[in-house]
């Protein structure tokens, strides 16, 4: 069975480490915050200028001046800090964020990522995505393995305009955990019940399949 969005978030959360500063993109990445292990301290960075993002407010504590990068009203945790957008992107560009999780339309064997622009459709903009992928060393891309029509999103070369070049090393899809090494996807784990054959069939770019591909485990 393909992973649900919640299971994808759970799998990403297994990559968290105590003391990590983490930037979570919109969509599935946002759900990762729900699976931070209770014995671990993690600080969430929001690129509009907040380190230490907390949960949503109550009706009583809602504040128009307190939002996240998705423009949602939020709160801060104890020990949070707030700063300008230039300071925020200095943290990101300067490589100070330990883990960045974001979605994409396509990823290819050379670590290129396309996530912001589909030609001939309305282009809203890249927001902070280009800065995030250029600045971070440790990025996890979360996406479905193939489109609804079965077209692979793991390609030999991205067809859409790029968000960043050569910057992606880890991809979690609804079918598999893959890492990008030496111009190929390496199949590291498969979703419970998903066969290696199905992953091979739905991966267009070069795929290296080790002799043993373990199933993901969830606590």
Note whether 120 binds another protein by CB under 8 A.
no
Stretch that binds another protein, among 87-95, 100-108, 138-146, 190-198 (CB under 8 A): 87-95
Note whether 183 binds another protein by CB under 8 A.
no
Q: What is the SS3 assignment for 123?
A: coil
Stretch that binds another protein, among 80-88, 137-145, 188-196, 199-207 (CB under 8 A): 80-88
95 CB contacts (<8 Å, ≥6 apart)? 135, 136, 137
- Pick the closer one to another protein by CB: 14 or 76: 76
| CB 211, min distance to another protein, A | 35
Note whether 138 binds another protein by CB under 8 A.
no
Query: Which residues, listed in sequence order, are joined to residue 76 by a DSSP beta bridge?
Result: 53
Active site residue 198: no
- Taken in order 127, 136, 165, 3, the sign of the CA dihedral is negative
| CB 10, min distance to another protein, A | 20
| CB 129, min distance to another protein, A | 8
CA 190, CA 202: separation in Å to the nearest integer? 13
Asked whether 47 and 71 are in contact (CB, 8 A), the reply is no
CA 184, CA 31: separation in Å to the nearest integer? 28
Note whether 161 binds another protein by CB under 8 A.
yes
- Pick the closer one to another protein by CB: 127 or 186: 127
- With CB under 8 A, what is the number of residues at the site for another protein? 51
Of the candidate residues 6, 63, 151, 157, the single one contacting another protein (CB under 8 A): 63
CA 96, CA 136: separation in Å to the nearest integer? 8
CA 142, CA 26: separation in Å to the nearest integer? 11
Q: Which two tokens stand for residue 101?
A: 């999780």
| Residues found near another protein in the complex (CB under 8 A) | 46-50, 55-59, 62-68, 70-74, 82-86, 88-89, 92-93, 112, 117, 122-131, 134-135, 161-166
């Amino acid at each position: 069975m393909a992973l649900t969005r919640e299971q994808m978030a759970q799998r990403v959360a297994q990559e968290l480490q105590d003391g990590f500063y983490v930037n979570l993109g919109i969509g599935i990445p946002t759900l990762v915050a729900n699976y931070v292990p209770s014995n671990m301290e993690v600080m969430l960075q929001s690129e509009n200028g907040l380190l230490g993002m907390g949960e949503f407010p109550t009706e009583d504590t809602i504040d128009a001046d307190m939002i996240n990068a998705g423009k949602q009203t939020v709160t801060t945790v104890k020990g949070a800090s707030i700063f300008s957008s230039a300071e925020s992107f200095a943290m990101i560009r300067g490589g100070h964020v330990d883990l960045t999780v974001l979605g994409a339309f396509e990823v290819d064997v050379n670590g290129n990522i396309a996530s912001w622009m589909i030609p001939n459709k309305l282009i809203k903009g890249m927001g902070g995505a280009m800065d995030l992928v250029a600045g971070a060393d440790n990025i996890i891309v979360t996406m479905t393995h193939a489109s609804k029509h079965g077209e692979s999103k793991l390609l030999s070369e991205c067809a859409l305009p790029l968000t960043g070049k050569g910057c992606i090393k880890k991809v979690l899809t609804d079918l598999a955990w893959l890492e990008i090494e030496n111009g190929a996807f390496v199949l590291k784990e498969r979703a419970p019940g998903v066969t290696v054959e199905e992953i091979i069939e739905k991966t267009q770019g070069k795929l290296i399949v080790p002799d043993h591909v373990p199933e993901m485990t969830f606590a």
